[in-house]
Structure 1
Amino acid sequence: MELANRTTVQEFILLGFGVEQQRRYLLLLLFTVLYMLALAENITIIMLVLVDTHLARLPMYILLSNFSWLEVCYVTATVPRMLFDLAFPLGAISFQACFLQFYIFFSLGYTECFFLSAMALDRYLAICHPLRYPQIMSKNTCYALVTVSWVCGFLGCMIPVTLISKLNFCGPNIIDHFVCDPGPLLSLACPPLDNATYIWQLSMNVLVIVGNLVFVLLSYGVVIFTLTKSSNPGSRKKAFSTISFHLVVVTLFYGPVVGMYVAPNGESNPQVAKLVTTFYTAITPFLNPLIYCLRNDQVRKAVWRLLWKRRNG
């Protein structure tokens, strides 16, 4: 991302949450705990899939382990800087570091959209085409889906971030947020604002976010319709339980993201924007492993197998 030479702003000031000292320390403690728990939960899932031969063969858990790695990257792209600003308020971030965080943060968000689509495709094939599922969703197919998700996520964000980085920022340099988000950054650009930049950003958001959301909803819609016609109550109940957890994760991610980056004036209120961003950057990476695995029999059995091996080995 080549930055424009004409810019006069060399660094930005992140205002953070703008709370008094006592509340700031409470937030620092809260988000430190959430961050450590999110890392522990997601790394546990990754290690469990790696060491358990049964889970390592199942496509859903191959995707889930890679999704957990994505969550580790996602929470690490934003929360450590948030913790730093809570400990040392009004900290400066360089122009280059700000746009690097913006690029990584948004690319990981785009990648999560593609991952949720891949996981929806996996459930669609497993439930709607069970006989062909083992041949279609092989290990190679899973790793291909993972690779495509990462590549599309990071390529899709490159053009909007590059265009925004080439705008002229001549002051002020105060960002009323705890991350380098496009809304506050665009508000600091010196007029006239390049319409092409805004159109590119909105177009990519609609294409990636809305496009993947539609695919996910259609996939689960067909799955639910198929399950309603199933003649096996036991398997239908188990499948509905799995799908319901997947839909909770989809709702937790897409609800805030669509409201922020697709809906008109989604970032117009700084306090609401901070609250929503906090939810999907710090809280959902903590909740997702619990939602996917807390009531999952296969994960619980894998944990018991691992404990039994360690006890007897």
Structure 2
Amino acid sequence: MADQVIDSNNCSRVMEFILLGFQDIGRMNIILFIVVLLFYLLCITGNSLIIVIVRVDRRLQTPMYFFLSNFSVIEMGHTSAFMPKLLVNLLSEEMTICFNCCMVQFFFYFLCGVTKFFILTLMSIDRYLAICQPLRYSTIMTPSLCIKLALAAWFGGFSSIIFQFVRLVRLPFCSSNIIDHFFCDIGPMLRIAGGDTHLIETLFFLLVVALVLTSLFLTMVSYTFILSTVLHISSTTGRQKAFSTCISHLIVVSILYGAVIFIYLRPTVTHASFSIIKVVAILNMMVSPVLNPFIYTIRNNEVKQALRKVLGRKRRH
């Protein structure tokens, strides 16, 4: 389809798409619906709880938890971009999505997805400054700078995808309306699009390479310096606390980067095996957002104490 040129003025654009989703599971739809709903509720609850406890506990109103709160907002937005529609489709015989809804889903899914990498990079740099430059940390990571960095991350996410989004919306979708996925992902959409899709596919690949590899490089460099500094800490308690914080971040990074590299880091996303990608995508999109709150809270004594404080208040009221 990518090589087929269709004049958008001489075709009747489709008004809705059919999402194939997991069409081979048959009567397992109800089970999958329950599983997806459970993970979605856990994601929303867990990440909302992080935002609440950071807001109510002054001890957690630091750059580290400020960026963690932003990360939680992104996780909820990322999953909410596709999970509600997936849940509806799992209970419906007609797994359809309107054209405009599909484009909105695509936009917010990739906006949150790209912004997530910027925030993760900021979190790694923040940890580097806190551990490797402790005397200068408070003067560098001021509240105003943290807000500016968070806004820059969101702007970076927006500016990174807006051109691809505009190009995608303008493509003629005339010959087919069947998307071989459970949401409006770029690969399956470009496969059924008419017109010349080489430019948007090339730019998307370059975006993934630049964003993912640069973010991964900066994160690995930060943690190389962090590891070197931690090993020279004389206090065993100090070493354990630093390791605990950093390991939590590295677990999140490993899950996210591994899935994204497998799904998107390929020159031709339209030629991928979508059956395998759908399995990896659903695991990454369901498991990772749910694990993040548990990873950060279970391994962090400050968050656990703040959580007990919040829950204690609720019981008294």
Scaled by the length of structure 1, what TM-score is found? Answer: 0.92
The equivalent of 1:167 in structure 2 is 171
Q: CA deviation at 1:94?
A: 1.6
1:13 aligns with 2:13: no
- Measured in 2, the distance between the counterparts of 1:189 and 1:307 equals 51
1:93 to 84, 93, 97: 97
Alpha carbons 2:19, 2:180 under 8 Å: kept: yes
**Equivalent position of 1:269 in the other structure:** 273
SS, match of residue 245 in structure 1:
helix
Distance 1:205 1:309, change over 3 A: same
Which letter maps to 1:277?
A
Give the drift of 1:49: 0.9
Cα distance in structure 2, aligned partners of 1:83 and 1:310 = 31
| CA spacing shift, 1:308–1:172, aligned 2, 3 Å | closer
Q: CA, structure 1 residues 268+307, in 2 after alignment: closer, same or farther (shift >3 Å)?
A: closer
Q: Are the aligned partners of 1:16 and 1:90 in contact in 2 as well (CA < 8 Å)?
A: no
For 1:157, what is the secondary structure of its paired residue?
Answer: helix
Q: Does 1:215 align with 2:218?
A: yes
1:116-127 residue pairs with structure 2 within 5 A? 116-127=120-131
Deviations 1:107-138 (A, max 9, x none): 11000000100100110000110000111112
- Determine the structure 2 residue equivalent to 1:201: 204
Q: What amino acid is aligned across from residue 106 of structure 1 in structure 2?
A: F
**1:177–1:184: 8 Å Cα contact kept in structure 2?**
yes
State whether residues 77 and 108 of structure 2, in contact with CA within 8 Å, keep that contact through their aligned partners in structure 1.
no
Does residue 226 (structure 1) correspond to residue 204 (structure 2)? The answer is no
Once superposed, what is the RMSD of the aligned Cα atoms? 2.0
Deviation at 1:307, TM superposition (A): 4.2
| Paired residues of 2:244 and 2:300 also in contact (CA < 8 A) | no
Q: Any residues of structure 2 matched to 1:1-313 within 5 Å, and which?
A: 8-56=13-61, 58-190=62-194, 193-264=196-267, 268-309=272-313
Aligned residues of 2:86 and 2:183 also touching (Cα < 8 A): yes
* Structure 1 residue 265: Cα displacement: 5.4
* Whole-angstrom distance in 2 between the partners of 1:200 and 1:89: 36
Deviations 1:130-162 (A, max 9, x none): 000111112112211211111111221111121
Task: Judge conservation of contact 1:293–1:299 (CA < 8 Å) in 2.
Answer: yes
Q: Cα gap change, 1:174/1:239 in structure 2, threshold over 3 Å: closer, same or farther?
A: same
Number of matched pairs = 309
Question: What amino acid is aligned across from residue 134 of structure 1 in structure 2?
Answer: S
CA distance in 2, matches of 1:273, 1:130: 42
What is the alpha-carbon distance in structure 2 between the residues aligned to residue 245 and residue 264 of structure 1? 32
Query: Per-residue deviation at 1:230?
Result: 2.7
Using the TM superposition, give the Cα deviation of residue 264 of structure 1 relative to its aligned residue in structure 2, in angstroms. 4.6
Residue 261 of structure 2: SS of its match in structure 1? helix
Q: 1:228 to 1:145 in 2, by over 3 A?
A: same
Evaluate the alpha carbon distance shift between residue 206 and residue 34 of structure 1 in structure 2; reply closer, same or farther with a 3 A threshold: same
TM-score, normalised with respect to structure 2? 0.91
SS in 2 for 1:93: strand
CA distance in 1, matches of 2:187, 2:315: 53
User: What percentage of aligned pairs have identical amino acids?
Assistant: 36
Letter of the structure 1 residue corresponding to residue 209 of structure 2: V
TM-superposed deviation, 1:75: 1.1
Q: Is the 8 A contact 1:16 1:89 kept in 2?
A: no
- Secondary structure, in 3 states, of the residue corresponding to 1:13? strand
Gaps of 5+ in 1: none
Structure 2: 5+ residue runs without aligned partners? 1-7
- Checking the alignment, whether the CA contact within 8 Å between 2:21 and 2:180 is kept in structure 1 is yes
Counterpart contact for 1:175–1:185, Cα < 8 Å: yes
* AA aligned opposite 1:261: Y
Q: Per-residue deviation at 1:5?
A: 8.6
CA distance in 2, matches of 1:257, 1:89: 30
Between 218-227 and 125-134, report the one with greater CA deviation. 218-227
Counterpart position of 2:3: none
Cα distance in 2 for partners of 1:37, 1:208 equals 29
CA–CA distance in structure 2, aligned partners of residues 17 and 197 of structure 1:
27
- Quote the offset at 1:4 in angstroms: 7.9
